[in-house]
């Protein structure tokens, strides 16, 4: 990275809530957010929005007749973005850029429209404009009344951190002064869950902790889907109002050997992490927030990559997927949110079912990882100063 990038605003809507106070309070307890729902006559675990977050979505949908036709993935992004720019103190006339990504996009609406089409052979009028991927950033820009560049993309589960990379590139190029980046996902639909079950990675067993992410001794896959959105405000340079500062970014892609897997050694993770921390000694990294989806191979591959870099002096490791599940394209920025909160509160959020030894004495430098199908890894180094 050529310049420091300051994170000056943060907003999210998730199973943890939609205010920083509520979210941090929920991180401090050892409870998870999973509930069993009956989908197609089968009970499955999911992590839905909290009651307060759901109320915010309903209020937004009812506030404008146009919003009633939008998919939840768009509405979630709009709420997270509103909170983030208010947090940053940005005004509409700032004409900031927007890059809001999603792995699945308007899943609920697409499934509904397709079902209707199969029944009567006709597509509904809004079936195209409300299900295109660009729909997310376009509606966020409309809602915030900004005339800056609007970008939407999908790079599966590393989508949100790729949005962060894009925002940084725009800022460092001088083509924008401010950029809002993030990810949004509303994947709790029958077809999306069926897709994950077809991969044999979805949690089946009832347990005190249904998703045992980062448990390297597990004998079964335990991934569970969650929903939500998160957005952060990026500004170039050292800002006194910064919630945290981005001091390093890394990215890497593996050559595909299988549609969904990464190498057992986590080669893409190793490359992205080395790139992100190249200006720092590994000993300076206080903690890592892992992607760790709760699958046997996925969790272990990332851990092996970390072990190669840090050897016997491992930073403290954590993740939030045991608590809120895998939110696909939104997961990277939700992990960034956790990193920011830990830096601000100077408190490490551990995983209750793991014995992780001593907690870090300080939280000045936290590395955040994400990866998508086929090995699209991104690592971001967040610093207190």
pLDDT digits (tens, 9 = 90+) for 47-102: 999 999 999 999 999 999 999 999 999 999 999 999 999 999 998 777 899 999 99
DSSP state for residue 29 in the 8-state scheme: S
Helix axes 72-88, 51-63, angle to 10 degrees: 100
- Residue boundaries of the structural domains of the chain: 5-383
Task: Give the residue among 89, 233, 99, 226 at the shortest CA–CA distance from 166.
Answer: 99
Q: Report the alpha-carbon distance of residue 130 to residue 132 in Å, rounded.
A: 6
Question: Looking at residue 259, what is its pLDDT?
Answer: 62
Residue 180: pLDDT over 90? yes
Residue 105 confidence class, pLDDT cut points 50, 70, 90: very high
> What tokens were used for 188?
């709790």
Give the pLDDT mean for 204-223.
97
Q: 353 Cβ partners below 8 Å, 6+ apart?
A: 208, 209, 212, 215, 322
C-beta neighbour count of 120 within 10 angstroms: 8
Per cent of the chain over pLDDT 70 is 99
Give the pLDDT mean for 335-345.
98
Return the CATH fold of 5-383.
Peroxisomal Thiolase; Chain A, domain 1 (3.40.47)
């Amino acid at each position: 990275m050529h310049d420091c990038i300051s994170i000056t605003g943060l907003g999210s809507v998730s199973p943890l809530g939609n205010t920083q106070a509520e979210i941090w309070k929920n991180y401090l307890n050892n409870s998870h957010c999973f509930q069993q729902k009956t989908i197609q006559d089968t009970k499955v675990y999911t992590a839905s929005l909290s009651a307060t977050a759901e109320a915010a979505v309903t209020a937004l949908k009812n506030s404008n007749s146009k919003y009633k036709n939008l998919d939840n993935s768009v509405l979630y992004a709009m709420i997270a973005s509103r909170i983030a720019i208010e947090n940053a103190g940005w005004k509409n006339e700032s004409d900031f850029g927007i890059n809001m990504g999603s792995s699945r996009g308007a899943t609920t609406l697409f499934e509904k429209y397709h079902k209707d089409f199969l029944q009567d052979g006709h597509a509904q009028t809004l079936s195209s404009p409300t299900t295109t991927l660009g729909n997310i950033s376009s509606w966020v820009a409309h809602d915030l009344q900004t005339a800056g560049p609007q970008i939407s993309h999908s790079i599966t589960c590393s989508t949100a951190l790729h949005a962060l990379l894009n925002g940084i590139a725009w800022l460092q190029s001088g083509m924008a002064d401010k950029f809002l980046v993030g990810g949004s996902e509303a994947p709790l639909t029958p077809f999306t869950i069926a897709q994950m079950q077809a991969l044999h990675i979805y949690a089946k067993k009832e347990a005190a902790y249904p998703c045992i992410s980062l448990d390297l001794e597990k004998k079964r896959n335990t991934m569970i889907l969650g929903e939500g959105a998160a957005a952060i405000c990026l500004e170039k340079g050292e800002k006194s109002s910064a919630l945290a500062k981005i001091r390093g970014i890394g990215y890497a892609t593996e050559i595909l050997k299988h549609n969904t897997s990464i190498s057992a050694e986590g080669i893409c993770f190793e490359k992205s992490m080395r790139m992100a921390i190249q200006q720092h000694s590994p000993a300076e990294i206080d903690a890592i927030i892992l992607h760790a989806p709760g699958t046997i191979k996925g969790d272990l591959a990332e851990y092996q990559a970390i072990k190669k870099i840090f050897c016997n002096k491992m930073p403290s490791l954590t993740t939030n997927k045991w608590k809120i599940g895998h939110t696909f394209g939104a997961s990277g920025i939700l992990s960034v949110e956790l990193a920011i909160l830990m830096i601000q509160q100077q408190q490490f959020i551990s995983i209750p079912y793991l014995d992780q030894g001593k907690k870090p004495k300080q939280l000045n430098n936290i590395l955040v990882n994400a990866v998508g199908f086929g090995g699209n890894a991104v690592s971001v180094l967040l610093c207190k100063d």
